[in-house]
Amino acid sequence: MGGLQADHKLIRADGRRVDGRGLDEMRPLSIKAGVLKRADGSAFVEWGGNKVMAAVYGPREVHPRHLQNSMRAIVQCRYNMASFSVGERKRPGPDRRSQEISKIISEALEAVVFVEQFPRTTVDVYIEVLQADAGTRCAGLTAASVALADAGVPMRDLVPSCASGKVEDKVVCDLNKEEDNFGSADVPMAILPRTGEFLLLQMDGHLTYDELMQAMEYNMKACKRINEVQKEALRTRYQTSAMEMEKEPEPAPIASIPVEPAANDQNDQGGA
């Protein structure tokens, strides 16, 4: 039901998945905060085969002016996939899919940022997917919330996000590319880890009620773990000195330039 037909089994005979994971296991995740010097806040997420960069600017003035809200800040997100992020070259520029993702991420983030503290401003979030391997909206949202915290934007909580789905009639946690392409359902979800409230819940494909509950259960557990990684990323950011980022190549020492007879010496000669 749904999805393309895979030419090989997505769940192996021993009950494990194509990449050897168990049904409830997520892919390895690492997050680094403060990776970009020019942005107010930034984060880089490597999650399985995903490589996602997020940069935050703001709060800053809203342009064009008609978008500004005199009572609160707006959160504007742009999700973009690099043309080289997928196997077949992706046509660059916003398309239907990336506009949708930009919108849902903006809305999820707007719900956690204390927007009423910064009337008439915008918080701009740029998400660049450098390498895609399924679940990029979740990776993007995870990265964006770390970048927001890194920018010092007041917010209720960090936003972990994860997608589970159905593959060969089995509900599995954190789909990878193959499972996403050939599986039959995909449920991305983002929560407020402190309260367990939902910030994002989508479903692509068909699931029974029990399957959906199972997928959400997996997501919930994964999000808690993702949240720990996010916190750790922000802590280590300030434990390792920020100086490393600031370092620029030293100017070449002047003494190393040999004093060769230059062209103007010959001119002097001519003068004499």
List of residues contacting other proteins (CB under 8 A): 40-41, 58-61, 70-71, 114, 117-121, 149-158, 192-194, 230-231, 234-235, 238, 241-243, 245-246, 253-255, 257-262, 265, 268-269, 272
Comparing CB distances to other proteins, the nearer of 20 and 270 is 270
Q: Which is nearer to other proteins, 143 or 172 (CB)?
A: 143
Residue 113 in contact with residue 149, Cβ under 8 Å? no
Shorter beta-carbon distance to other proteins: residue 1 or 254: 254
Give the shortest CB-166-to-other proteins separation in angstroms.
31
The values of phi and psi at residue 95, to 5°, are -130, -175
Nearest-approach distance from CB 15 to other proteins, in angstroms: 36
Neighbours of 155 (CB within 10 A): 18
- Taking the least distance from each CB to other proteins, the nearer of 92 and 152 is 152
d(CA 108, CA 238): 26
Residue closer to other proteins, measured from CB, 128 or 150: 150
Q: How far is the CB of 106 from other proteins (least distance, A)?
A: 18
- Shortest distance, position 197 Cβ to other proteins, whole Å: 12
User: Nearest approach, Cβ of 116 to other proteins (angstroms)?
Assistant: 10
Q: Which residues of 121-147 are buried (b: 16+ CB within 10 A; e: fewer)?
A: bbbbbbbbbebbbbbbbbbbbbbbbbb
Tokens of 78: 């742009």
CA R_g for the chain: 24
Measured between alpha carbons, how far is 213 from 129 in angstroms, rounded to an integer? 29
Supply the minimum distance, in Å, between the C-beta of residue 59 and other proteins.
5
Give the tokens for residue 104: 């849902």
For other proteins, give the closer residue by CB, 35 or 134: 35
Nearer to other proteins, 125 or 187 (CB): 125
Q: What are phi and psi of 271, to 5 degrees?
A: -65, -40
Strand partners, 44: 32, 53
Cα 128 to Cα 76: distance, rounded to the nearest angstrom:
14
Say how far apart CA 126 and CA 42 lie, in whole Å.
9
The structure tokens 């960069």 sit at 53
Least Å from the CB of residue 154 to other proteins: 4
Reduced to 3 states (helix: H, G, I; strand: E, B; else coil), residue 252 is: coil
Our CB check for other proteins shows the closer of 64 and 87 to be 64
- Closest approach, Cβ 108 to other proteins, in A, equals 14
Structure tokens at 264: 């103007």
